[in-house]
């Protein structure tokens, strides 16, 4: 495991985009170790992550990451800057795991890791890192299976492990990462990810529509509505409003039954 010092970061994201029914206009900063972007399905959360990753281009926008002493502008439409995805040093675990079907799980995990040199020390380090990622995601029985032999939840865990093994880079993005996982496993994974985050220094940006997941992470929440971020803060405060809104909806639908 690399002994990265605690690094400061300050990421700025500004995106404005319109295609069909989707209208996005967001501006936020990432300063906390773990931030959750919370919105209903189909609100364009995944699109935001893809734009930060460079897999999609916004109509207008700017993505600037400061990580340690380094400040890099990844996207800036006004200056026609659009760094290609593979040079951004950001990780995205997409909703669909997209494990390489022609590689076993262990080869999938090693794909993003630097090739170790052919000496004892380098190899030990390589496999120690691999071991700890496998331990974290509870996938040791899967290492020599092919992706087609895995269940949905298993594939998801391997996809997360693959991203972590490659190193967080400047930012780790998780798109609905815990779908199809039971609560115990999810909480273990969250605890493990927090430890890794503290060591790596780079922040995590997670996207979800599941309130349970938000509370499980105990992270800073950005609530999005109609393509805009409407509230930022701790889950207890930001989602109290959300919960009230949901309860209000429930109350209204219950009325006709009572009346």
Interface ranges with other proteins (CB under 8 A): 53, 55, 84-86, 89-92, 94, 96, 98-102, 111-112, 146, 148-149, 159, 162-163, 166
CA dihedral over 31, 41, 243, 26, signed as positive or negative: positive
Q: Which is nearer to other proteins, 136 or 150 (CB)?
A: 150
Cα-based distances in Å from 214 to 11, 40, 151, 229:
21, 13, 24, 16
Helix locations, the chain, DSSP H: 45-53, 105-110, 120-137, 152-165, 183-200, 211-217, 235-258
**Closest C-alpha to 28, from 255, 226, 221, 176:** 221
Q: Are 22 and 41 in contact (CB under 8 A)?
A: no
**Closest C-alpha to 203, from 104, 50, 90, 48:** 90
Q: Which is nearer to other proteins, 168 or 238 (CB)?
A: 168
Nearest approach, Cβ of 253 to other proteins (angstroms)? 37
**Closest C-alpha to 63, from 45, 82, 46:** 82
Nearest approach, Cβ of 104 to other proteins (angstroms)? 12
Q: Which is nearer to other proteins, 86 or 120 (CB)?
A: 86
Q: Which is nearer to other proteins, 16 or 104 (CB)?
A: 104
Nearest approach, Cβ of 101 to other proteins (angstroms)? 5
Q: Which is nearer to other proteins, 154 or 220 (CB)?
A: 154
Q: Are 82 and 75 in contact (CB under 8 A)?
A: yes
Nearest approach, Cβ of 158 to other proteins (angstroms)? 11
Q: Which is nearer to other proteins, 101 or 248 (CB)?
A: 101
Q: Which residue has the tokens 């919370």?
A: 38
Nearest approach, Cβ of 142 to other proteins (angstroms)? 15
Nearest approach, Cβ of 85 to other proteins (angstroms)? 4
For residue 61, the SS3 value is strand
């Amino acid at each position: 495991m690399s002994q990265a010092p605690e690094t400061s970061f300050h990421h700025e994201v500004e995106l404005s985009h319109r295609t069909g029914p989707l209208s996005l206009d967001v501006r936020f900063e990432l300063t906390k170790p773990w931030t959750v972007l919370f919105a209903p399905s189909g609100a364009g959360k995944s699109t935001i992550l893809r734009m930060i990753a460079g897999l999609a281009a916004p109509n207008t926008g700017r993505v600037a990451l400061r990580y340690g002493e380094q400040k890099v502008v990844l996207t800036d439409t006004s200056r026609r800057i659009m760094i290609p995805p593979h040079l951004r040093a950001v990780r995205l675990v997409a909703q669909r795991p997209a494990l390489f079907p022609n590689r076993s799980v262990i080869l999938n995990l090693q794909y993003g890791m630097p090739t170790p040199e052919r000496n004892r020390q380098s190899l030990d380090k390589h496999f120690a890192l691999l071991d700890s990622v496998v331990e974290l995601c509870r996938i040791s029985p899967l290492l020599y299976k092919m992706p087609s032999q895995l269940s949905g939840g298993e594939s998801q865990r391997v996809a997360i492990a693959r991203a972590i093994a490659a190193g967080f880079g400047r930012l780790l993005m998780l798109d609905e990462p815990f779908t199809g996982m039971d609560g115990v496993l999810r909480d273990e994974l969250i605890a493990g990810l927090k430890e890794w985050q503290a060591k790596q220094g780079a922040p995590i940006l997670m996207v979800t529509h599941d309130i349970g997941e938000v509370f499980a992470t105990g992270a800073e929440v950005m609530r999005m509505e109609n393509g805009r971020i409407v509230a930022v803060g701790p889950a207890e405060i930001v989602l109290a409003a959300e919960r009230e809104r949901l309860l209000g909806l429930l109350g209204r639908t219950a009325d006709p039954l009572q009346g």
